[in-house]
Chain A
Amino acid sequence: MADDARPGSSQPADSQPADGQPADGQPAEEPFQELLGYEWTEKAYHMLMRGELNGEVISREKIIRSRVWGPCPRCGHDLDDRQTHTAVIGIMGAETRGGTTRGGVDDEEAPFEVDVSCGCDGPHSGAPEGKTGCGVSFRVALPLHPADG
């Protein structure tokens, strides 16, 4: 089952390292598994708060992009997720913000939600052909920083 998450819940989420991170600091091999459970979102949040995982959402010329980088909350391999959250759609030149639960809402004060899937280069047995990463996906909510000069 995709949502059958196991983020190492034997320890408090805000004090544990990434799941695949053994004591020696080297990421262990996790088999590929599609996981979307909320616990991964919680874990990513705690990693962000501890500074283990990094994230930014930047708006320049009304084009929003995000970057989330650091160890994957599940496998511990390095991930570097870059997304563009603006598209020009149709002839009217409408700019739409999307990819989140708040697509179309332009409240720059509210945190911007980004859905991230692990795309690390680490080895994960059972991964489908052409897929990278360990299969975990999570959501982060980051402040939107304007970068317009």
Chain B
Amino acid sequence: MTDTTPPRASLPARPLSKVDLAERDRFAKLTAASADSVRGSAQAWRTGLAAFITLVTTGVVIKGRDTTTGLSAGWRATITILVAGGLLLAVAGLWQALAAEVGTDPKKQTLQGIRRDHGTLAAYEVYLAAQAARRLQWGRRTVAAAVVLLLAGIAVAWWAPDAAPPAGYVIVFHGHASSCGTLQPGRPGQLSLSVPGSHTPVIIPFSQVTQLLPATACP
């Protein structure tokens, strides 16, 4: 048979002192100040994080196009994902910090409802402060992740290898034939073409050329 008797009060081992009462009263003040304390912290964090993100993103926006122009599509896509992900996380994090500061999801509350759910108004205020603190913590973590992504995007933009220059193939139609290859320096009046798979360049007089087409590869 299990004992279902609820635990009862016990006799405290230590006597009460004036210091205990003073601490109790000081702690009550901390409790009452919880909401203001969290809101103040959230305000400071939001301002700081916003300034930091502004600094980073301004550099990305201003230099981004120039920095990535010479990169291959793969590296550009990587940088785009990192920077876009960073910006999205930054917005989400700052939103959380803002919500911690000013609160979201307005609700109508009655004192009776607060007493039923939280016991006292002070406990309800601490509950709201704890919620705001959690939001602020998430906001800080999210912005930290955003900063990591943005910095990674910048680092990749700095260090990614330049895209290989295009091969510059041309298809030359001459007479009833055509040749494909890359242009080489040749004699005046002639077109010298280095053809893949052949060590000897193909020489075509200009007078025989009927059409020139650029190509990314030779058939």
Contact = CB atoms under 8 A, between A and B. Distances in A.
User: Do the two chains belong together in a single complex?
Assistant: yes
Interface of A: 2, 36-38, 40-42, 45, 48-49, 55, 58, 60-63, 65, 67, 82-93, 95, 98-99, 101, 103, 111, 113, 115, 117, 137-143
Contacts of B133: 88, 91-93
Nearest to A53: B9
B24 A99 contact: yes
B36 to A, nearest CB: 10
B156 interface: no
A88 B119 contact: no
A143 B8 contact: yes
Contacts of A2: 18
A99 B9 contact: no
A99 B20 CA distance: 7
B31 interface: yes
A93 B23 contact: no
Contact of B8 (A49, A63, A87): A49
A81 B13 CA distance: 21
B28 A61 contact: no
21 contacts: A36-B21, A41-B16, A48-B8, A65-B118, A82-B120, A83-B24, A84-B120, A84-B122, A84-B123, A84-B126, A86-B123, A87-B27, A88-B37, A89-B34, A91-B41, A101-B20, A111-B10, A115-B24, A139-B14, A139-B15, A141-B9
